[in-house]
Amino acid sequence: MYSILLSIFFPVLAGVYLLIRKEMADRRNLLITTGICFVITGILVVATLLTAHGTDFTLFYLTQSLPIYFSVDAVSVIFSAMTMIIFVCAGFFSFEYMKHETKEKRYYGYYLIVFGVLNALCFAGNLITFYLFFEMLTLSSMPLVLHNGSREAIMAGLKYLFYSLCGAYAALFGIYFVCKYSDSLTFTAGGVLTSSAATEHTGLLLIVAFVMILGFSVKAGMFPMHAWLPTAHPVAPAPASAVLSAVIVKAGVLGIVRLVYYIFGASFLRGTWVQTVWLILTLITVFMGSMLAYREKVLKKRLAYSTVSQLSYILFGLAVMDAGSVTGGFLHVLAHGFIKSTLFLCAGAIIYTTGKTKVDELRGIGKEMPLTMWCYTIVSLGLIGIPPTGGFVSKWYLAIGSLGSAIPVFSWLGPVILLVSALLTAGYLLPLTIQGFFPGADYDYEHFKKREPSGWMTIPLLILTVLSVLIGLLPTPLVDYLTQIVSTIL
């Protein structure tokens, strides 16, 4: 029970400690302190998942009927395990990367606070607790976006804040109605709406559900509230971009999972106009994000548009509300998390080593940084959906679930859009590999030099790359676990 609180408040307090203490004279002491905090937080999360599964804990009451309440269930395990692995890997990667950034102490302070807040979101046991930490996530992660203090970074941070607050307030609007028409706000498989409310106020509750889905989808970058993502990611430090794109945006996905399957219930929304409009928006986002990524020349911005597209793969699976599609959505949460964090860290390693940010400038980069580019290439194949990577397995389940759903038009249109998006994904990721390893006859083969970054960067890249492949090579245990979850919520 107490491991839940420790996994949340230890990194938050450690981050506050770094922020308020004086600058350390020796950078080495800062890294040792921060590294110990990463390791301890990771151990606490693992201990929570192993020992606290199925337990709950009430911290305090906002009102007599609104507790701040934590609980560890199977969905918590998926999101918190992914968060812990990526945050620790990106954290150690930053030990080398942040050498050329200023104000490292501030960066690591907010990084740890965000780590703790994300753990709180994963373990939130009711809607009001989730909302509280959803707001805190925006406020604590914004300094990571505007870290370098440039005008571009400040404007990106403000845009991120504005979009995120608009989404959060849309969710808050819905919480008032959910509170009125439900027995409680505790996450319960199948939903919490009273039978009388679901019958007598169907029209109103459908509007509320749609507004809340849009609200949480802002963090997940769904059209039409996606514009903050390609603005914020390129200006943030690469390790921050990695956790923004792989983990922080998944807070929106987690919010939708909790809302659709644990508050309203899939049976209440299935077959309604809410499901139809939601499906339309997800497919528009999948195609639009891929097309914009294909046209983009700045590497980190290209990856940001890719995130817009890939997150809506997950949302599409959730919106279909079929056992196969939802399983595929959960699989893609993990596969995309490991793949996209690796891609952003590879971009960071390239920028750190060469100073180049545009794709057209990176001809021959595979000769200079072969290990980094092999990691980039392998996870790119995963994002495209080529076996035996995790991305193939997740997209397989998404397509099969869609085809088996029998939803008019969308049952076949969904897989078609996903296939077109996969082709566009190959079009915007693989040219860097091809030009990187095969730069052409006019490339100076005699005078290039290998310049891989240190182990602080390459080891996290290797770990995340291996994990992205293992999901594809050994999917059965994970699929079985996810199938059990899906069977309880549909």
260 part of a folded domain: no
Residue type, 58: T
Taking the model in full, what pTM does it have? 0.94
13 part of a folded domain: no
151 part of a folded domain: no
pLDDT at residue number 131? 95
- Tokens in use for 57? 């804990």
pLDDT at residue number 399? 94
What does the angle CA 60 – CA 64 – CA 70 come to, to the nearest 5 degrees? 35
- Tokens in use for 34? 């921060």
Write the burial class of residue 151 (CB in 10 Å: 0-12 exposed, 13-18 middle, 19+ buried).
exposed
Contact predicate 435/363, CB 8 Å: yes
Number of independent structural domains in the chain: 1
CB atoms within 10 A of CB 423: 11
Q: Which domain holds residue 407?
A: 270-490
pLDDT at residue number 56? 83
- Tell me the pLDDT of the chain (490 aa) as tens digits: 688 999 999 999 999 999 998 877 678 888 999 999 999 999 999 999 988 777 888 888 988 888 999 999 999 999 999 999 999 999 999 999 998 877 889 999 999 999 999 999 999 999 999 999 999 999 999 999 998 888 888 998 899 999 999 999 999 999 999 999 998 899 998 889 988 888 889 999 999 999 999 999 999 989 888 889 888 888 889 999 999 999 999 999 999 999 999 999 999 999 999 999 999 999 999 999 999 999 999 999 999 999 999 999 999 999 999 999 999 999 999 999 999 999 999 999 999 998 888 888 888 888 889 999 999 999 999 999 998 889 999 999 999 999 999 899 999 999 999 999 999 999 999 999 999 888 877 776 666 778 888 889 999 999 999 999 999 999 999 999 999 999 999 8
- Tokens in use for 100? 């050329």
* Spatial CA neighbour of 450 closest among 360, 365, 349: 365
What does the angle CA 482 – CA 403 – CA 307 come to, to the nearest 5 degrees? 60
167 part of a folded domain: no
Residue with tokens 């390790």: 239
pLDDT at residue number 25? 67
| Partners of residue 126 on adjacent β-strands | 186
135 part of a folded domain: no
298 part of a folded domain: yes
- Tokens in use for 89? 């890997």
Distances (CA, A) of 134 to 56, 101, 117, 200: 19, 28, 8, 31
